[in-house]
């Protein structure tokens, strides 16, 4: 049986705590920018789709979300490459390389000519840049989740590692804030014409700044481990053979833990704001943007609360809360939120979903990191997450759009509920609140 342990007695070493907080902030800054680059696409999709596809094409919206989903196919490849790299050459270097690649792709999208100028090549360039970003994001999750879990001190791991999703959601908040500022000064045609390019350019510039911040982080992987891998003495570090032959149980657990969480995350935090955006698009797009900005900021603030709570009552308790809440609430959110035209009710409907979602998002990084020994941790966490993310998370926006088009939103709601239910079974029967774990250096 695996474990999602509460950490040991909190450290009283003030210097160690300050060092841990410093590394958490530096790691978080890169995560924030990288996820801004991911979410700026979904937030501005309705504005730039006419620049990459013909406005007369009724399927242009599906094409935009198909590209969004296609990027998730690259995440397992990125998780393999960067996970292996992080387990052999260190977390810091892997994170620095991934954020550099994200910046490059954001700049490419920002300067790509429109379909009116270069035809289908505009869509091809967009797809190529997003596939590369999917590759980088696949590496970012595993390396950053591992780094922030390892950098956190015992007794504070839930709280400190929760900033992984604070910044992940924060990237979405920044993307929404960018749209809000643009809507304040410009009309929709201006944003569709050239404003969206500024949004992608901001992500590229910010990533360059983060490149220098990450160079100053402490390395959480020991020098002896890096040296052994460099000299070929440690064949197990970052090895797919080691992962699939000797670590397949925690890998399977990581996949199943993620499946329900990732489909809920993309349904609630990507589809949810798009539902609100569509509901208020006709008469008051500014109100819809403000609701989304506020409710996503609420989700961001919830993360350290969930992490702190997990240090007290254990990780399993929060995961079970999410699982039960997701099974009971997803149908209502998916079928009723699109019809909420009252700003307060729309906010509260999605906010309640975010309270439930926090049971997963606030602690999922440390839960997965605790499953794997150091030499395979970045690869195991990243690859298990990326597989589930590609199958269930990244496809959620596309499947929802397809359900809307065919009039079968209820089918999509059943699919989401069933996936969360499968993960709930894992939370209840295969995880425990207390026990030895690999982050504490103890073997199970």
The pLDDT tens digits of the residues spanning 396-408 come to 988 998 899 899 9
User: Does the pLDDT value for residue 307 go beyond 70?
Assistant: yes
User: Does the pLDDT value for residue 2 go beyond 50?
Assistant: no
Joined together, the tokens standing for residue 24 give: 């958490």
User: Does the pLDDT value for residue 4 go beyond 50?
Assistant: no
Residues for the chain: how many in total?
444
The pLDDT tens digits of the residues spanning 308-359 come to 999 999 999 999 999 999 999 999 999 999 999 899 999 999 999 999 999 9
Average pLDDT of the segment spanning 136-147: 81
The pLDDT tens digits of the residues spanning 62-116 come to 888 888 888 888 989 998 999 888 888 887 788 888 888 888 899 999 999 988 8
How high is the pLDDT of residue 157?
Answer: 85
Instruction: Look over the chain and give the mean of its residue pLDDT values, rounded to a whole number.
Output: 85
CB 274 within 8 A of CB 397: yes
How high is the pLDDT of residue 220?
Answer: 59
How high is the pLDDT of residue 146?
Answer: 82
Question: Which residues lie below 8 Å from residue 291, measured CB to CB, with a gap of 6+?
Answer: 276, 280, 343, 346, 347, 350
How high is the pLDDT of residue 222?
Answer: 61
User: Does the pLDDT value for residue 168 go beyond 70?
Assistant: yes
DSSP symbol at 111: H
How high is the pLDDT of residue 3?
Answer: 45
User: Does the pLDDT value for residue 295 go beyond 80?
Assistant: yes
How high is the pLDDT of residue 224?
Answer: 66
Alpha-carbon gap, residue 423 to 247, rounded angstroms = 20
CB 83 within 8 A of CB 381: yes
Question: How would you classify residue 441: left for phi > 0, otherwise alpha for psi between -120 and 50, otherwise beta?
Answer: left
Question: Which residues lie below 8 Å from residue 185, measured CB to CB, with a gap of 6+?
Answer: none
14: buried, middle or exposed (CB in 10 Å: 19+, 13-18, 0-12)?
Answer: exposed
Alpha-carbon gap, residue 85 to 82, rounded angstroms = 5
How high is the pLDDT of residue 229?
Answer: 61
Alpha-carbon gap, residue 217 to 102, rounded angstroms = 19
Alpha-carbon gap, residue 258 to 319, rounded angstroms = 11
CB 377 within 8 A of CB 312: no
* Assessment of whether the complete model's pTM goes beyond 0.85: no
Alpha-carbon gap, residue 224 to 134, rounded angstroms = 31
DSSP strand E in 1-45: where?
A: none
């Amino acid at each position: 049986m695996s474990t999602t342990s509460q950490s040991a007695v909190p450290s009283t070493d003030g210097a160690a705590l300050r060092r841990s907080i410093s590394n958490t902030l530096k790691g978080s800054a890169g995560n924030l920018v990288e996820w801004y680059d991911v979410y700026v696409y979904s937030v501005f999709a309705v504005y730039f789709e006419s620049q990459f596809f013909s406005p007369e094409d009724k399927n242009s919206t599906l094409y935009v979300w198909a590209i969004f989903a296609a990027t998730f196919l690259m995440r397992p490849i990125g998780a393999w490459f960067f996970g292996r790299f992080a387990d052999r050459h260190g977390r810091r270097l892997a994170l620095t390389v991934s954020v550099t690649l994200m910046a490059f792709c954001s700049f490419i999208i920002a300067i790509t000519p429109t379909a009116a100028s270069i035809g289908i090549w505009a869509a091809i360039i967009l797809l190529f840049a997003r596939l590369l970003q999917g590759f980088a994001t696949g590496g970012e999750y595993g390396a950053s989740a591992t780094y922030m879990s390892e950098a956190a001190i015992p007794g504070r791991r839930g709280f400190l590692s929760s900033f992984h999703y604070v910044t992940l959601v924060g990237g979405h908040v920044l993307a929404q804030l960018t749209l809000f500022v643009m809507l304040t000064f410009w009309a929709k045609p201006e944003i569709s014409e050239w404003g969206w390019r500024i949004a992608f350019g901001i992500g590229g510039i910010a990533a360059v700044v983060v490149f220098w911040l990450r160079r100053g982080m402490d390395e959480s992987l020991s020098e002896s481990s890096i040296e052994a891998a460099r000299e070929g003495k440690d064949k197990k570090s970052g090895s797919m053979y080691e992962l699939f032959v000797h670590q397949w149980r925690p890998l399977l657990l990581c996949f199943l833990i993620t499946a329900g969480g990732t489909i809920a995350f993309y349904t609630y935090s990507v589809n949810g704001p798009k539902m609100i955006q569509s509901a208020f698009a006709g008469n008051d797009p500014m109100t819809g943007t403000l609701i989304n900005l506020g409710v996503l900021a609420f989700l961001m603030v919830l993360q350290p609360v969930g992490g702190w709570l997990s240090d007290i009552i254990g990780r399993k308790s929060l995961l079970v809360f999410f699982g039960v809440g997701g099974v009971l609430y997803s149908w209502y959110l998916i079928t009723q939120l699109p019809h909420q035209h009252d700003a307060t009710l729309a906010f509260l409907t999605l906010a309640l979903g975010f309270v439930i979602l926090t049971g997963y998002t606030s602690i999922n990084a440390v839960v997965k990191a605790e499953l794997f020994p150091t030499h395979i941790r970045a690869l195991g966490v990243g690859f298990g997450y990326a597989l589930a993310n590609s199958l269930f998370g990244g496809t959620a926006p596309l499947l929802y759009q397809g359900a809307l088009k065919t009039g079968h939103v209820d089918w999509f709601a059943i699919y989401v509920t069933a996936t969360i239910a499968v993960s709930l079974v894992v939370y209840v029967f295969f995880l425990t609140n207390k026990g030895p774990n690999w982050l504490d250096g103890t073997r199970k």
